[in-house]
A and B are shown apart, each in its own frame.
Chain A
């Protein structure tokens, strides 16, 4: 049992390499999982359309991006627009928010994360809102597979 206690027979604590590596591997997995998480507040329930030829997102632009999540409620035939975990029933409420963001950041980009079954008119409504707030850089999110 002396080997498992981490000490010598004299009672001195001893450095054990195996548990140390165990802990380091756990820490490594923890940091790998948190670095792959999106910084943007994305709605995981949205099924994005598949587009194999879409470009990978520029990591440098991540801090300039606003994610606009547009979910489609098939039963109610209604689109739900969500920005930063807040649902907006009236899209006009988003204009002052986007305008304030554009004033602070010239490079701001609107990332439209829309459900694949969403009617195009709903996308157009979101585009109108983005245009009203003066943001011209738009990105349509799509999944690679």
Chain B
């Protein structure tokens, strides 16, 4: 009889929902996701349009064309002027600050004269795709979205 009573008491004690361990577990899960969120890699994109042959209803004004050339070693030329370093491993080399500044100024002057800017990227055959994306990144910073892509250097 005593044994049965003890059994009944322990059952009554353990029956209730325990909030403290529940909160413990929830905090651990929350910490796990907070740490994980910092290391998540997100895949972004640079969007562009290939030139088409659509008929236009009105006359189109020809935009100011800017040529950016990328050499095999990573050297970037803006209208034949070499800019920034060829060191694509350093953050400074990857950011292409001189190119971004020049492009920003060109866009501002084009906007002032109510003209559009068109940038053509001429990448040499063996230039790394990473360097092309560095240039696209600099163009994004300069808020230029009118970009075409060509893989051979201009004649």
Contacts and interface: CB of A to CB of B under 8 A. Distances in A.
Contact of B15 (A3, A56, A109, A135): A3
A122 B127 CA distance: 10
A137 B47 CA distance: 7
Contacts, number: 142
Contacts of B150: 124
Interface in A41-67: 42, 48-57
A139 B48 CA distance: 6
Nearest to B13: A3
Q: How large is the interface on B (under 10, 10 to 19, 20 to 34, 35 or more residues)?
A: 35 or more
Contact of A120 (B7, B52, B132): B132
A143 B43 contact: yes
B3 interface: no
A117 interface: yes
Given A3-B14, A120-B123, A140-B136, A55 B46 contact: yes
Interface in B35-51: 41-51
Contacts of A42: 43
Given A50-B94, A51-B134, A115 B129 contact: yes
A56 B141 CA distance: 14
Interface string B42-78: 1111111111100000000000000000100000000
A21 B25 CA distance: 11
B14 A117 contact: no
Given A54-B45, A55-B140, A18 B129 contact: no
Interface in A116-140: 116-124, 127, 130-131, 135-140
6 contacts: A55-B46, A57-B45, A109-B47, A116-B129, A123-B132, A139-B45
Query: Which 9 residue pairs are nearest across A and B when measured between Cβ atoms?
Result: A124-B151, A54-B44, A120-B123, A3-B14, A116-B130, A49-B133, A121-B125, A49-B130, A53-B140
Given A116-B129, A116-B130, 18 more contacts: A49-B133, A53-B141, A54-B137, A57-B44, A114-B129, A117-B129, A120-B124, A123-B151, A124-B150, A127-B151, A130-B50, A131-B50, A136-B52, A137-B49, A139-B45, A139-B46, A142-B45, A145-B41
